[in-house]
Each structure stands twice: as structure tokens, then as C-alpha cells.
Amino acid sequence: MIKIATAIRKGAAAYLRRQYKGVGIFFAVVFAILLALSFLGYLNYFVPFAFLTGGFFSALSGFIGMKTATMANDRTAYAAQKGLNKGLRVAFSAGAVMGFVVVGLGLLDLSIWYFFLKFWYTNVKVMASESLMIQNITSNMLTFGMGASCMALFARVGGGIFTKAADVGADLVGKVEAGIPEDDPRNPAVIADNVGDNVGDVAGMGADLYESYVGSIVSTSALAVSAGLGSRGMAIPMILAAIGVICSIFGTFFVRTKEDATQKSLLRSLRLGTYISAGIIAVASFFVIRAILPQNMGVFYSVITGLLTGILIGFTTEYYTSDTYTPTKELSKTSETGSATVIIGGLSLGMMSTFFPVIIVGVAVLISFFACGGNIMSDAGFNKGLYGIGVAAVGMLSTLGITLATDAYGPIADNAGGIAEMAGLGEEVRNRTDALDSLGNTTAATGKGFAIGSAALTALALIAAYISEVHALAPRLSFNLSITNPPVLVGLFIGAMIPFLFAALTMDSVGKAAQSIVHEVRRQIKNIPGILEGTTEPDYASCVDLCTRSSQRLMIAPAILAVIVPIVVGLILGVNGVAGFLAGTTITGFVLAVMMSNAGGAWDNAKKHIEAGNFGGKGSDCHKAAVVGDTVGDPFKDTSGPAINILIKLTSMVSIVFAGLTVAFHLM
Amino acid sequence: MIKIATAIRKGAAAYLRRQYKGVGIFFAVVFAILLALSFLGYLNYFVPFAFLTGGFFSALSGFIGMKTATMANDRTAYAAQKGLNKGLRVAFSAGAVMGFVVVGLGLLDLSIWYFFLKFWYTNVKVMASESLMIQNITSNMLTFGMGASCMALFARVGGGIFTKAADVGADLVGKVEAGIPEDDPRNPAVIADNVGDNVGDVAGMGADLYESYVGSIVSTSALAVSAGLGSRGMAIPMILAAIGVICSIFGTFFVRTKEDATQKSLLRSLRLGTYISAGIIAVASFFVIRAILPQNMGVFYSVITGLLTGILIGFTTEYYTSDTYTPTKELSKTSETGSATVIIGGLSLGMMSTFFPVIIVGVAVLISFFACGGNIMSDAGFNKGLYGIGVAAVGMLSTLGITLATDAYGPIADNAGGIAEMAGLGEEVRNRTDALDSLGNTTAATGKGFAIGSAALTALALIAAYISEVHALAPRLSFNLSITNPPVLVGLFIGAMIPFLFAALTMDSVGKAAQSIVHEVRRQIKNIPGILEGTTEPDYASCVDLCTRSSQRLMIAPAILAVIVPIVVGLILGVNGVAGFLAGTTITGFVLAVMMSNAGGAWDNAKKHIEAGNFGGKGSDCHKAAVVGDTVGDPFKDTSGPAINILIKLTSMVSIVFAGLTVAFHLM
């Protein structure tokens, strides 16, 4: 166990080292550009540094999360020898470290900047009024989100490519060609596969939600000024976040189980932690808002709306992707007529599953807007409503500590299972880790629903922040955000197309990276004698290295796309076009991401449903057809779908940072 | 040949009879609702009748087109015995009948209503001013598009389900299970498959473009009033359409080929007809616009923009779907690693292929808006620009006569090939029909690009017409179409989701209908002795009947969705929400339809590329993997993708007709 875990740890560390090197170059280049722009006067001089710290803290939270996860893998397997509850506690505790590191670092970075900027604008560069000071503070803090966003993109896309390339590569040659089981130490790509779970699902998800977290907080704070809610309104999101951390820690104590726990009761115990946290947050926020902002208790309803949105989207995700419900059961039935019908069925299920999340987010937008005193007739009333939408995003993300703990738990349990298998621990242990792992699939699916739902609300808050940022930069610039205004309309069109393009690029990257792994695994099996007999150890490190190199190389194109397009749209279509573009990306990206994540999750579980003995079980024709669905679903749910989350936030962030440039230069 | 063709003809007639019966009930119900609403004062009293005539003429053009097509099938096969050029001329002439029936009936219906309404408002119910009269004429004529739209939906969706259910059903049992070749008379579903080509590709496409045609003309005419271009501005779209018909007829004379024609020269000769027509239309429209609207020559540039848009979208479609170019060639290479990579590759290709169409439509919107004197600062200037967008749609569709001829030619050639095969004509004949058929695949793909591109521009004109309609109905209602206005935003979200839902429903329908065919074909092969030996004739009619019944039953849910959702959105979110909803449906629907059509076309041709002897050729593992892609692509390109065209226009049409209701009742 120690040997295997060490290999995974080393592989993950090697991946991170190389990623940080590549990302370092990217950050250096962007930093230089931002510095040049700030010298030219298009940016505030704090922006380049805020950008750096955002990236640094995001990377740090990914790093710590992954260190913890890779340390907890074998410990979970070991603890599972003693019992199910012990295994659960170890895996979940490690996940909790990840969750609280993310929220802790987020709040730390926010606080440092807040106090520094407040000091600066009260002592060094004194502002004429308090509202002008808040304006300056928040608009500087916003740009710090761009650093977090860029880092998240690399973590999500790079990790997503890595994990799926290793997975597909290991399966295609190992399982299909050589006929050796999953997680078998004879497969040269098996360690890469395990490393992938950590870099994709732990570090990637952490950086993604870190970004949503700080993004929603700073954009909502920024909206407080134009909403006329002053410094108290600005403080609310941060206070809510702080409450959330404390309540989430409290919630983690309720995650425990009995030894004879079923799948269902395990899930219930994980859920219980989240629900208890959400409940306490709701109560605490009532008193806090009554104390700080008694004139606008609507803010409280926005918080509740956000909390409920997170829970409801989780439910619908589970309904569409878990094989305890009809949709996935029916999907596994389509395997009877071959792989083509499995594909059609999964795509159709994914498309169908977009209905409820859209309705839930739509209702949340309306409630949080109007509850906060939103009023489309006056500017201040309007901004109050937008502030309400932001608060809903913050409310949703206030449970992040425990939600992320539940989510990061999955890959740890998955890896523990792999280690138990490879180390040849007894069947009982393997059964326990299987129970923990299979639960991880469900929490991963709901975690993805949570991530995309919060990304959508955060992106809406960011769009609103973008518009108020432009207002502040160029008060006399006249906006026309009507959907019939051609630049807005064309922006909407382009925005609707970009998520598709981005998904295509990331899927292609997975395909290309997987190809290179396939060749490497084939080469090793052919050239190194004794691998299949288990007498010689395969060269795990070369597979890990290959995955690392391909994923780093192949994530460049999507990353550049996400950063360049909003700038180009701004230079051609102007601020109205950018607003349309951001709206188009957010709405279509949301729908597409939900579709891809849910289709992928359903294919995965439909396959598991067959493996559990239905429709002929493992090895049957139905199973083969379902495997095709699962393979298509892998990049859907673990690369492209989640990467779109980042896309919709990053494009907003880039637009905000480059707003000055767009205001100065634009064709229309 | 006569026997087979008679069976196809009978099957098609049976399908139409049943469809018109089902559709008749739908039209009767909607007519009654409209009548009731007009008695209550929410609608003008002409609306119910305009609705009926729109449906009637649309159905009539589908009927005539299909009659011609089913008569031309065997004649084409017969003519191909004498030579390639003879075969081409027969197939293309039959297509041309279809094309010109559609445009002719469209213009006929428009003219009848125009003269009737003009007579009415000058003699019976005299209007105070000319502009008020034009306003009333155009707003009544607009609603006639809803009838055409509904009919088109049934034709497209019903036909799409029929054709793919028959195709998939015939292939799954015949080719895969029983091992008999395509188009073999021993397959009980073979006639249903041939009937499907006619009802889906001929009647469905015809009704679709009929709707775009009349929709773009009447919505542009309606915009002329608010653009301040008076009766001359109103006349322009109709005159452009008339010019288009004449020039297209002229263009058809250039479609001929030599006996030793290659695939390439065949395509060139078909294209030549379209290009010559477009060229003459451009020249003629210059003089006409100079004569009628000399003060606004920008209208001419909008026409040119429209013509170019149609041609350019055709090019990009061909690039992504034809196996003479890299994307499809690379797609066929993905078959080497199995069906999962074929699926991922095709989806990614489809997503990638949305880039250029979006950019082309975006540029077209901007050019046609600003060329016509569009100006976002004043209301009149703004409406001038919107009028320009409408003119671009009309310009694009002015070549419809010949475009549709080229398009309807495909299924005729396809059927001719089937008949040649079944009737056992010589190999030389079969080679000729194959050459004609394979060309048909390319023209079908570009035809789909043309259909969706024109649908997008038409939908934009319809949205503009909707807004000006609401303005006319409730002049004091204040609009706020800003994308940050919550009802607009939520409308955008819902609009982005509906095409996905619609695609899922239609794909599911194909799957269910195909299942029933599979069972029926299996039953016949098992129960009727001598089918596989070719001694007993299978019961073709029962398969046709089954396809007809399933497609009629399964098209109800998507149809109701398309009609109900805009009304519900209007009642809850009000006119702003509807506008957002329409914009969301149009942009996402456009992108999704392009993606699905192109992915489907590329899968089809990747399979054909392998069948032509690449990557192991027919029967190889690569071929099997490519067949999976093709099967997934079938509902993509022939059912769901094209059905979205109708969706984006129908939702606008329904919103326009029920605008009065929305203005009277709405929550927000």
C-alpha cells in the first residue's frame, strides 16, 4: 500500500510541478501585459498584483487539497480494514481539509486585500467620499478574481484532460485489448489513472469552486455601492461567507455511519452534514442581516433562495444520473439494441435534464431580484435587485466548506479502492471501499450540479458587476443592452457558440492525449517482457509523465480562447457587445454544461447498473454497448462539462479587467 | 420498377392521408381557440382564417412536391438507363417542380391576402391614414405565417420521425441481424424506408422553407411601417421574391452535365444554376430598388448580404460534412479506435462547425442593419436597421426556387437508386444512380445549412416584428429589453433550454418509433416463411402503416411544447420575457441545429468514406464503428436538427399571434 500510494503521490507531485511551471509562464506573460496596460493608464496599478495573488492562492488551495488527498488514499484503505465508519471518517476528513482550505484561503486573500486597500484609500490616496472609496476597493478586488479564474481554468482543463486521457488510455488497452481488470497493477497506466482522479477531481474542482466563491463575494460587494447599500451592504457577502465556514465546520461532525450501513444510509449521513450546515446558516444569517441591514430584510430571502437552489439542483442531478431512478434505468435498457441507441438515449437524457435546473435558476433569479427590493424602473432599485442575485450566489456557496468536503471525498474513496485492489487486501475491505466509492459517484454528480449552478449565479453577478464597472469608468457612455441592438444580438450569438467551441476543443484534447497513452501502454506491453505475467513492474512514471506533458500542451488552446475572445469581442462590438456575449455564454454554457455533466453521469451509472447484474451483467453485449456510452461520457462529465463552468466566469472576469481597454477602443 | 414505385407512391399517399387527418384535428382545435380569442377581442377577426390558409397552402405545397417526387423516382431510374445527363435532368426537373410550387404558392397566398385586406381597409373598414392601413394589412398577414409554421412543424417532425424510424428499423434488423444488403426487396421495411425519404426530406424540407419564405417576407413588410418606409418599403420584399422566382427559373436551364461527368463536375453543374440565379437577382434588385426606393440604396446591400450569407453557409457546411475535406476524413480515422471515439469525434466536429455559421450570420446582421441606415439612437433609425435584417433574410431566400430544386433532387436520386437496385437494373445504371445519389448527400447537407441560416435571419425579423406588433397594440407599454432585466434574462435562459428539450423529445420519438419497426420486421421474418429466400413478398404496407401511426402519435408532444411554451412564458414573464425567450431560442437553437446537422452529415459521409475502401472498407471493424456514428447521426441530421429550424420560427409566430393575450394578462 505504501509503495502504491507513494507512486501516486510522486506522480501527482510531478504533475503539479510541471503544471505550475507552465502556468507560471502564462501568469508572467499576462502580468507583464497587465503591467504595461496599467502604465498606459487603462488599468489601476493594483490590478496586476491582485491578478497574481488570485492565481497564487487558487494554486495553493489546489496544492494543499491534492497533498491531503494523496496522503489520505492509502490511509482510507487502511482504515477500511477496521470498518466502514473508520474509512468514511478518514476519507471525509481529508475532503474536509480540502474544503476548508479553499474557503479559508479565499477569505484570507479577500481580507488582506480589503484591509490593504482600505488603508491605502484612507491614508495614502484619500478618497473624496466613502462610496467612492468602496467603489475603488471593490473594483480592485474584482480583478483578483481573474487570477483565480485563470488558475482554475488550467487546473480544470489540464486536470480534466489528464484524468480522462489516463482513464480512457488505461481502459482501451488494458481492459479491452489485454483483458486485464480495472485497477490492475500490471497495467502501465494504472498509476496515471489514479493520479488523474486527484488532479482532475480534487485540484480541478477545488480551484473551480474557489473561483466561484471569491467571484461571487467580490462581485456582490461591488454591486453594493451602486445599489445604495453602502459599506454595510459591501460587508454582507463577506460576513455571510464567514458564517458559512463556521456552520459548515459544525456540520462536518454529523457525518458518521454505522458499520452495517447501506448505500442509502451512507448517502443520508453525508447529506445530513450539508443540510444541518445549510439550516444553521439560514438561522444565523437572519440575525446577522437584521443586525447589519435591518432596512433590507429581503437580503435574507435571497440567502435562503441561494441555499435552496443548491439543494434543489443537487436533487435533480441525482434524479437524472443515479440508477435508483427511472431515467438511468431506462438508459441501461437502451443497451439491448446496441451502442448507437445508448448514445442517443444518453444525449437525449442529458438534454432533457436541462429543464429543471434552468427553471430552478430562473425562479431563483426572479425571487432574489425582487425580494431584495429590485425594481426595473429606477437605477438604484435595479441595482438592488442585481445585488440580491449576487447574494443568492453567495448564499448558495456559503455551504462550500462542507459541499466540497463531500465532493473531494469521492476521488479519495475511489483511489482507496484502487489501492486496496492493487495491494491485494481482502474482499471484505474491497467491499467497504466499493461502498464508499460508489457513493462517491453520486456525490460527484451532485457536486457538479452545485458547481455549475453556482457558476451560473456567479456569472450573472459578474455581468452586473461588469456593467457597473463600465458605468464607473465612463459615466457618460450610453448603454443599450436591448436584445434587439445588433452588437448585443451578435454578442449573444457569439456567446452561444463559444461554449460549443470550447467543449469541442477540450474533447479533442482528451482524444489526442488518450491516443498517446494508448501507444505508450501498447509499447510497454510489447517491449517489456513479463508485464502481463506480473513478474516485471511496468514503467508507471512514463505514463504519468506523458499524461502530464500532453495535458499541459493541449490545454493551451482552450485557455487562450477563453481569454482572447472577450477582449476581441470588446474591441469590435464595444461594451454592449461584450454584455451580450457574456449573457450568451452564460445561458448556453449553463445549459450545455448541465447536459454534458448529466449525460456523462448517467452513462457511467447505466454501465454500473448493468455491471450490478442487470441486462446480462458484466461481459454481456449490453455491457459492451454501455461501455461505449461510458467512454463518450468520460470527457463529457469530467473535462468539457466542468470546464464550461470556468469559461462562463473567466470570460466575465476578463471583460471586467479589460473594461478600460474596451471603453477606450471599440469599433461599435 | 412500376410495381416498386407504385408501392412507394401508395405508402406516401397513405402517410399523407393520415397526417392530414391528424393535422386537421389540430388545426380545427387551434382555429376554434383563435376564433374564441378574436370574439373576446384579443385578436383581429381575420387571424383564424389567415391561420387556416397558411396551413392549407403549406400542406398543399408539401402534397404536390411529394406527388412529383414519388412520380419521378422510377422515371429517374428509367432515364438513368439512357445516360447520366438524362437521369440528372429528370431528377432535377422534379425537384424544380417542388421548388417552384413552394415559392409560387407562397406568393399566391400572400397576394390574395394582400389584395383582399387592401380592399377591405380602403372600402369596408376605412383607415384614417395609409400607414395605419399598411400596419393593419401586415399585422394580419403575419399571423398567416403561424398556420404555415404549424403545418411545417408537423411535416418536419412527423416526416423526420417516419424516415429515421424506417431507416434505423430497416438497418438494425435487415442489415445487422439478417445480413441482407441495403435496399433489398426482401426487407419488409424497405418500402417504408423509401417512403420516408419522400415524406421527410421532400415534404418536410418544403414546408420548412415555405414557412421561412413567407415568414421573412411578411415580417419584413411589417417592419417597413415602423421604419418609415411606407408602402414602397412594404412592397420591396414581395417584389424581391418575385424577381427571385423569375431569375431562379432562368438558372435551372444551366443545370446539365456531360455523360462522363465526375462527382465534382456534377456538383459544379448543380451549383452553377444557383450562382447564376443569385447573380441575376443581385443585378435585377439593384435596378428595382433604385426605381422604387432610391433614397435608401442600402436596402440593395442588405439583399447582397443575404445572397452571400446563403452561399457562404453552404460552403462551410460542405467543408465540415463532405469527405473531400479534412474534418470528415479525420472523423473516419477515429473509427480505428472504436465507436466511442467516432462519437466523440463527430460531436466535437459538429460543435466546432458552429463557429463559421455564427460569424457569418453575425456579420450579416451587422452589415444589413447598418447598410440600411440602421441607427440605434433613434426609433425610426433602429427600425430601418431591423428592416435591413429582414431584407437580408428575403434576399437569402430569393433563390429558394432553385435551392429547393437542388435539395429535393437528392431524395429523388436516392429513391431512384433504391428502385434500380430492387428492380435489378444493370450495374451501369446503378453506378449512374449512385453518382446522382452521392451528390444528393452533399446538396442535402448544404440545403440544411441554407434552411437553418435562413431560419435564423427570419426568426430575427420575426422577433423585431413581434416587438413592433406589441408597440402597435399597446403604445404606452414600456419595454425594457435589457439583458439585465430579470424577465428578459430568465426568458433567455428558458429560451436556451427549449431547443435542447425539443431535440431530446424528437430523438426519443425516433428511438421509440424505430423500436416498433424492429419488432415488426423481426415478426415478419419469423412468421412469414420464404421472406429471406425471396420466394414470398413481405408485408411492406404494414411497416409503412406502423411508421405512419408511430410518427403521428409521437410528434404530438414536441408540437404542443413548441406552441404552449411561448404562451406560458408570455403569461408569466410578460412581453419582455417573451422577447428574451425568443432571442434565447433563436441563438441557441441556431447553434444546436448547426451542430446536430453537421455532426450527422459528417458521420454519414465518414461511413461512406470507409465504404469507398478506406480504413479497411465495408465490413471491417472501422466500418462497424462508423455505422454506430451514422446511426446516431440519423436523428441528429434528419429529425432533431431540422426540427429546431421550425421551432425557432414557430415560437416567434405563436408569440406574435398571442401578443394581444400577453399584453392583457401577464404576471410581470
Span B178-190, pLDDT tens digits: 777 777 778 888 8
Q: Residue A495 in contact with residue A593, Cβ under 8 Å?
A: no
The predicted model gives B639-646 an average pLDDT of 89
> Would you say residue A640 lies in a domain?
no
Alpha-carbon distance of B491 to B474, in angstroms, equals 21
**Does B486 reach chain A within 8 Å, measured CB to CB?**
yes
Enclosing H/E stretch for A663: helix A659-664
- A489 neighbourhood in chain B, CB within 8 Å: 365, 460, 583
Query: With an 8 Å Cβ cutoff, are B348 and A508 in contact?
Result: yes
pLDDT at residue B176 greater than cutoff 80: no
Q: Which of residues 156-215 of A touch B (CB under 8 A)?
A: 172, 176
Q: pLDDT value at position B225?
A: 80
Residue of B348, B501, B503 with shortest CB distance to A355:
B501
> Would you say residue A546 lies in a domain?
no
Q: Which of residues 627-646 of B touch A (CB under 8 A)?
A: 627-628, 631-632, 635
- CA dihedral sign, ordered B339, B341, B345, B351: positive
Query: With an 8 Å Cβ cutoff, are A369 and B511 in contact?
Result: no
Of residues A282, A316, A280, A272, the one with CA closest to residue A406: A272
Q: pLDDT value at position B419?
A: 82
Q: Residue B200 in contact with residue B141, Cβ under 8 Å?
A: no
Q: What is the mean pLDDT of each run of 10 residues along chain A (668 residues)?
A: 80 83 88 89 84 88 85 85 83 87 89 89 83 81 84 85 83 73 79 80 81 88 83 89 91 78 76 89 94 89 94 91 90 88 94 96 94 81 89 92 85 82 80 79 81 90 87 80 91 96 92 84 83 80 85 86 93 94 96 95 91 86 90 90 90 89 84
Query: With an 8 Å Cβ cutoff, are B340 and A464 in contact?
Result: no
Query: With an 8 Å Cβ cutoff, are B511 and A631 in contact?
Result: no
Alpha-carbon distance of A215 to A236, in angstroms, equals 14
Query: With an 8 Å Cβ cutoff, are A341 and B511 in contact?
Result: yes
Burial of B123 (0-12, 13-18, 19+ CB in 10 A): exposed
> Would you say residue A607 lies in a domain?
no
**Does B515 reach chain A within 8 Å, measured CB to CB?**
yes
- A462 neighbourhood in chain B, CB within 8 Å: none
pLDDT at residue B231 greater than cutoff 80: yes
DSSP 3-state percent helix, strand, coil across chain A (nearest 5): 85, 0, 15
Residue of B345, B362, B483 with shortest CB distance to A481:
B483
Query: With an 8 Å Cβ cutoff, are A361 and B493 in contact?
Result: yes
Q: What angle do CA B577, B581, B584 make, to 5 degrees?
A: 140
**Does B358 reach chain A within 8 Å, measured CB to CB?**
yes
> Would you say residue A613 lies in a domain?
no
pLDDT digit string (tens) for B289-333? 999 988 888 899 999 999 999 999 988 998 999 888 999 999 999
Q: Residue B12 in contact with residue B199, Cβ under 8 Å?
A: yes
**CB burial string B560-595: b at 16+ within 10 A, e below:** ebbbebbbebbbbbbbbbbbbbbbbbbbbbbbbbbb
Residue of B347, B484, B584 with shortest CB distance to A467:
B484
Distance from CA of B430 to the nearest CA of A (A): 30
Q: Residue A426 in contact with residue A213, Cβ under 8 Å?
A: no
**Does B600 reach chain A within 8 Å, measured CB to CB?**
no
**Does A489 reach chain B within 8 Å, measured CB to CB?**
yes
Residue of A344, A500, A583 with shortest CB distance to B635:
A344
**Does B516 reach chain A within 8 Å, measured CB to CB?**
no
Stated pTM of the model: 0.94
**Chain A, nearest residue to B581 by Cα:** A483
> Would you say residue A93 lies in a domain?
yes
Q: How many domains does chain A have?
A: 1
Q: pLDDT value at position B313?
A: 92
Distance from CA of B362 to the nearest CA of A (A): 5
Query: With an 8 Å Cβ cutoff, are A490 and B583 in contact?
Result: no
Higher pLDDT, B528 or B174: B528
Grid coordinates representing B61?
A: 405545397
Find which of A171, A500, A522 to mutate to test the B interface (most B CBs within 10 Å of its CB). Answer: A500
Mean pLDDT of the residues in chain B: 87
pLDDT digit string (tens) for B395-441? 999 998 888 888 888 888 888 888 887 777 778 888 888 778 877 77
Burial of B81 (0-12, 13-18, 19+ CB in 10 A): middle
Using alpha carbons, list the distances in angstroms from residue B225 to B167, B372, B610: 48, 14, 55
Alpha-carbon distance of B653 to B24, in angstroms, equals 19
Contacts (Cβ under 8 Å, ≥6 apart) of A391: A220, A236, A237, A240, A299, A302, A303, A306, A368, A372
Higher pLDDT, A125 or B574: B574
Using alpha carbons, list the distances in angstroms from residue A45 to A49, A126, A130, B663: 8, 16, 21, 51
pLDDT digit string (tens) for B139-164? 888 888 888 888 888 888 888 888 88
**Does B568 reach chain A within 8 Å, measured CB to CB?**
no
| A119, amino acid identity | F
- Would you list the DSSP string of B262-320? -HHHHHHHHHHHHHHHHHHHHHHHHHHHHHH-GGGTHHHHHHHHHHHHHHHHHHHHHHH
Distance from CA of B31 to the nearest CA of A (A): 30
Q: Residue B593 in contact with residue B599, Cβ under 8 Å?
A: no
- B463 neighbourhood in chain A, CB within 8 Å: 484
Grid coordinates representing A496?
A: 452561444
Q: pLDDT value at position A564?
A: 93
Enclosing H/E stretch for B326: helix B326-333
Using alpha carbons, list the distances in angstroms from residue B301 to B41, B220, B230, B389: 41, 15, 19, 11
pLDDT at residue B10 greater than cutoff 90: no
**Does A455 reach chain B within 8 Å, measured CB to CB?**
no
Torsions phi, psi for B656 (to 5 deg): -65, -45
pLDDT at residue B266 greater than cutoff 90: no
Tell how many helices (H) and how many strands (E) occur in chain B. Answer: 22, 0
Q: pLDDT value at position A368?
A: 93
Contacts (Cβ under 8 Å, ≥6 apart) of A572: A666, A667, A668
Find which of B382, B482, B581, B603 to mutate to test the A interface (most A CBs within 10 Å of its CB). Answer: B482
Of residues B127, B151, B152, B153, the one with CA closest to residue B140: B127
Query: With an 8 Å Cβ cutoff, are B579 and A343 in contact?
Result: no
Alpha-carbon distance of A412 to B486, in angstroms, equals 41
Q: Residue B396 in contact with residue B311, Cβ under 8 Å?
A: no
What residue has cell string 415568414?
A: B215
Q: pLDDT value at position A288?
A: 92
Residue of B337, B344, B362 with shortest CB distance to A493:
B362
- Provide the terminal-to-terminal Cα distance of chain B, rounded to the nearest Å: 63
What residue has cell string 373598414?
A: B125
> Would you say residue A580 lies in a domain?
no
**Does A382 reach chain B within 8 Å, measured CB to CB?**
yes
Query: With an 8 Å Cβ cutoff, are B591 and A349 in contact?
Result: no
**Does B343 reach chain A within 8 Å, measured CB to CB?**
yes
Residue A425: which region, alpha, beta or left (left: phi > 0; alpha: psi -120 to 50)?
Answer: beta
State the Cα torsion A240-A246-A252-A254 to the nearest 10°.
-100
> Would you say residue A517 lies in a domain?
no
Q: Determine the structural domain holding residue B220 and report its residue range.
A: 2-664
Q: Residue A187 in contact with residue A580, Cβ under 8 Å?
A: no
**Does A588 reach chain B within 8 Å, measured CB to CB?**
yes
**Does B112 reach chain A within 8 Å, measured CB to CB?**
no
What residue has cell string 464607473?
A: A472
**Does A306 reach chain B within 8 Å, measured CB to CB?**
no
Query: With an 8 Å Cβ cutoff, are A362 and B490 in contact?
Result: yes
What residue has cell string 426482401?
A: B186
What residue has cell string 480534466?
A: A160
> Would you say residue A146 lies in a domain?
yes
Q: B439: which strand partners? A: none
Q: pLDDT value at position A571?
A: 94
Grid coordinates representing B349?
A: 466536429
Of residues B113, B118, B114, B116, the one with CA closest to residue B130: B118
Of residues A269, A406, A411, A347, the one with CA closest to residue A606: A347
**Does B338 reach chain A within 8 Å, measured CB to CB?**
yes
Of residues B159, B118, B134, B122, the one with CA closest to residue B23: B159
Query: With an 8 Å Cβ cutoff, are A493 and B348 in contact?
Result: no
Q: pLDDT value at position A659?
A: 87
Distance from CA of A405 to the nearest CA of B (A): 30
